[in-house]
Amino acid sequence: MVRAPDGTLLHARVDGDPDAPLTAVFCHGYVMDREAWGFQRDALGEHLRLVSYDQRGHGRSDAGSLASMTIDQLGADLAAVLEQTCPDGPVVLIGHSMGGMAIMALAEQRPELVGERVAGAALVTTSAGPVNARLVIPPEIANLVLRALARMGVTRSCCHVLRHAARLLSRTRIPAHLRPGVVDFVLQLTRARPIEALLALIPEFLTHDKFAALPGLGSIPVLVVGAGRDDTIAPHDSTALAGAIPGADLAMLDDAGHMAIVEHPHRINGLLHELLDRVRNRLSALTPPGPLPA
């Protein structure tokens, strides 16, 4: 259990190799939870210490106040996760979608962590700018809708209706090549709660802008993964993200969608292994040689 700066309790899981010198911290996406990283935890855990957690309002974590449902708060939560689960040693941050935004928020708030504590980062199907702005829903209108729902007291009562509708919509947009078991796995992850906390994040996505923080990530190995069939994060958003981080590597999976981490786990895992090798090589180069033998 991790206590966020505002007192909100976040559920975290620590596994992998407890004696490994490097820790990977997984940050999941919107309406998901830490179980979304199951394929990656299985593939990376042999030589890494692993930390995964449910972001506030998701999975088993508390939501806190509606006012706390911001991308900046998610960045502060990530800092608390680092301090309380892996207070020492280098870490690699791995974020999908909203999780990648939390990493960018952390880099903006705590730039001193990048380079020493944060030794590498993977930003998977995420954006430094507004998400789904093409839907043309002004943030102020989204906020009005949220306030109206709260005043009407219908958010909790319509929760199951909204989720059922979202699942039906998701099933119509799942690429045909995916196995039914993968589809069911993705859909069962959408058990975040409460619904009003999830709705409160929508204006955040529409105004999201962390481009100013990105140059600071240029001092560490960074992997950006984009997806050609992503209806949430357009390919040009991934290209813009990678272009704003000096030295970042861009891997574009042309036949993947937004949930590339479960659609193509072997390819994602291979890219993460390559990133981890670069991080280890950099750390080895920074480590001063030991004393010469007498």
Give the per-residue pLDDT at 166: 45
Give the per-residue pLDDT at 219: 96
Specify if 19 maps to a domain: yes
Residue 60, number of CB atoms within 10 A of its CB: 17
pLDDT at 222 over 90: yes
pLDDT at 13 over 90: yes
How much is the average pLDDT of 110-130? 96
- CATH code where residue 163 lies: 3.40.50.1820
pLDDT at 2 over 70: yes
Give the per-residue pLDDT at 148: 60
Specify if 209 maps to a domain: yes
Residue 264, number of CB atoms within 10 A of its CB: 20
Distance (Å, rounded) from C-alpha 240 to C-alpha 236?
A: 6
Give the per-residue pLDDT at 173: 44
Specify if 291 maps to a domain: no
Distance (Å, rounded) from C-alpha 227 to C-alpha 238?
A: 8
pLDDT at 11 over 50: yes
pLDDT at 59 over 70: yes
Residue 30 · residue 259 · CB < 8 Å: no
How much is the average pLDDT of 206-221? 96
Q: Which domain holds residue 31?
A: 2-286
For the record, the structure tokens of 55 come out as 């972001």
pLDDT at 187 over 90: no
Beta bridge mates, 23: 49, 91
How much is the average pLDDT of 72-89? 97
For the record, the structure tokens of 95 come out as 């974020």
Specify if 235 maps to a domain: yes
At how many degrees (to 10) do helices 71-85 and 98-109 cross?
80
pLDDT at 167 over 60: no
- Provide the CA 95 distance to its chain's centre, in angstroms: 3
Specify if 148 maps to a domain: yes
pLDDT at 217 over 70: yes
pLDDT at 153 over 90: no
pLDDT at 192 over 60: no
Query: 257-285, pLDDT tens digit by residue?
Result: 998 999 899 999 999 999 999 999 999 99
Specify if 89 maps to a domain: yes
Distance (Å, rounded) from C-alpha 50 to C-alpha 46?
A: 10
Continuous H helices in 176-264: 180-188, 195-200, 202-207, 235-243, 260-263
How much is the average pLDDT of 169-198? 54
Give the per-residue pLDDT at 193: 58
Helix (H/G/I), strand (E/B), else coil: 206: helix
Give the per-residue pLDDT at 131: 87
Specify if 293 maps to a domain: no
Cα–Cα nearest to 97, from 263, 227, 254: 227
Specify if 198 maps to a domain: yes
How much is the average pLDDT of 182-209? 70
Q: Provide the domain count of the chain.
A: 1
How much is the average pLDDT of 121-138? 79
Mean per-residue pLDDT of the chain:
84
How much is the average pLDDT of 134-162? 53
